[in-house]
Amino acid sequence: MICLGVESTAHTFGIAIANNNKVLSNEIKSFTTEHGGIVPNLAAKHHVEVCDQVLKSALKRANVKLGDIQLIAFSISPGLGHTLRIGAMMARTLSILLKKPLVGVNHCIAHLEVGRALTKAKDPVLLYVSGANTQIIAYEAGKYRIFGETLDQGVGNLIDSFARFLDLGFPGGPKIAELAKHGKKLIELPYSVKGMDVSFGGLLTNLKQKYITGKFTKEDLCYSMQEHIFAMLVEVSERAMAHTGKQELLLGGGVACNTRLQEMAKQMCKERGARCYVLPNEFNVDNAAMIALTGVQMFNAGSEIKVEKSEIKPYERTDDVNVIWR
Ligand code: ATP
Ligand code: FE2
């Protein structure tokens, strides 16, 4: 089955073509800024401007014509209303014009399903670390359950906020990671793990205060921030694995591109005799391949939706979805 996937939950607009669980193309264009953060209506404007071009390049790279498409999948939730609407409109239009079925995919779940489709992971705990989201997710009794999550902001938003404070532009993750490589001294920062949950708010305030004193270098602060937040995330992931008895950890979301986080997660898994799966970066950041791959599975299990019922759900939670395809 040839499926066209559309992703538009936040700053990235993506179109991918998948043939069952094989990715034929995975094209993205992302809204970025040199200063400041993401502005929802500007990101939506960006998506309108690039959607045609992204569609053309996805078809070309996959060597597929519009007429070959058999299924349309799109990210229906969760995310920014402004940007979700652009992808949803495009998916509905294609579904009507091509007379092909439509499937609405939860973006967080797609971050896990892409790992099951493209790695050997069968039933992993997902450490899902992106801009807006920080969750430890695993399958249990018909749903993807959230075993732990951030009590305030997502880890990527924390990284991006500190980057914005240092005037590094958006997204800040890769720039902070680069500065962190040159850090030499580990500065003690708030370490906030509450049971299975984490909290970052106090840490961000503390980092800003420390920077303003002028006594600490950017490099040392970035290095120390990474060491603290990644240790917190790996700790709760390990606890989730112990609780669920699962032997696989999958990393997902844009922050999973960070090689220091990957290293720490692999080390933890090695020590407990478990396996750690890391996807190529193009499937960690927001992408449409994960939407297409999940869409195929959902459709095969009967999850088609009608165009008139395909309203976006900006606030849907991972555990609101009945996982009928597993
Ligand atoms: P979601 O809708 O799933 O919350 P998102 O819109 O935040 O996703 P993603 O592409 O999954 O988008 O994640 C973006 C985040 O990843 C940003 O916070 C960005 O700074 C961060 N990021 C990207 N590359 C790296 C990296 N190498 N190291 C750390 N963080 C990174
Ligand atoms: Fe994402």
Does any domain span residue 226? Answer: yes
- Are 89 and 50 found together in one domain? yes
Does any domain span residue 163? Answer: yes
Distance between Cα 108 and ligand 2 center (Å):
6
Does any domain span residue 326? Answer: no
Name every residue whose Cβ is closer than 8 Å to that of residue 89 and which is 6 or more positions away in sequence: none
Q: Is the CB of 174 under 6 A from ligand 1?
A: yes
- Are 143 and 273 found together in one domain? yes
Specify the residue with its C-alpha closest to ligand 1, atom 25: 173
Q: Is the CB of 132 under 6 A from ligand 1?
A: yes
- Are 170 and 298 found together in one domain? no
- Are 141 and 268 found together in one domain? yes
Q: Is the CB of 79 under 6 A from ligand 1?
A: yes
**Measured distance CA(137)–CA(143) in Å, rounded:** 10
Distance between Cα 107 and ligand 2 center (Å):
6
Strand ranges (E), 235-325: 248-252, 275-278
Q: How many CA atoms lie within 13 A of 295 on its CB side?
A: 35
Domain CATH for 222: 3.30.420.40
Distance between Cα 9 and ligand 1 center (Å):
12
- Are 202 and 260 found together in one domain? yes
Please classify residue 207 by burial: count the beta carbons closer than 10 Å to its beta carbon, then call 0-12 exposed, 13-18 middle and 19+ buried: buried
Specify the residue with its C-alpha closest to ligand 1, atom 7: 131
- Are 61 and 99 found together in one domain? yes
Distance between Cα 246 and ligand 2 center (Å):
23
Does any domain span residue 117? Answer: no
Q: Distance between terminal CA atoms of the chain? A: 18
Q: CA of 251: how far to CAs of 13, 161, 204, 234, 283, in Å? A: 22, 22, 23, 10, 10
Find the ligand nearest to 160 CA: 1
Digits of tens for pLDDT over the chain (326 positions)? 999 999 999 999 999 999 999 999 999 999 987 776 678 999 999 999 999 999 999 999 999 999 999 999 999 999 999 999 999 999 999 999 999 999 999 999 999 999 999 999 999 999 999 998 999 999 999 999 999 999 999 999 999 999 999 999 878 999 999 999 999 999 999 999 999 999 998 999 999 999 999 999 999 999 999 999 999 999 999 999 999 999 999 999 999 999 999 999 999 999 999 999 999 999 999 999 999 999 999 999 999 999 999 999 999 999 999 999 99
- Are 134 and 99 found together in one domain? no
- Give the atom of ligand 1 at the shortest distance from the alpha carbon of 78: 2
Tally the domains of the chain: 2
Residue with tokens 């990957």: 262
Inter-axis angle of helices 173-181 and 218-244, nearest 10: 110
Name every residue whose Cβ is closer than 8 Å to that of residue 155 and which is 6 or more positions away in sequence: 129, 130, 134, 198, 200, 229, 233, 255
Specify the residue with its C-alpha closest to ligand 1, atom 16: 254
- Are 36 and 141 found together in one domain? no
Distance between Cα 67 and ligand 1 center (Å):
34
- Are 161 and 138 found together in one domain? yes
Does any domain span residue 118? Answer: no
Does any domain span residue 119? Answer: no
Q: How many CA atoms lie within 13 A of 277 on its CB side?
A: 25
Q: Is the CB of 121 under 6 A from ligand 1?
A: no
- Are 186 and 261 found together in one domain? yes
Angle among Cα 205, 210, 215 to the nearest 5 degrees reads: 170
Does any domain span residue 36? Answer: yes
Helix (H) / strand (E) element for 137: namely strand 134-140
- Give the atom of ligand 1 at the shortest distance from the alpha carbon of 128: 3
Residues of the domain holding 207: 124-278
Does any domain span residue 259? Answer: yes
**Prediction pTM value:** 0.94
Tokens at residue 222, please? 């970035």
- Are 83 and 196 found together in one domain? no
- Are 204 and 294 found together in one domain? no
Q: Is the CB of 82 under 6 A from ligand 1?
A: no
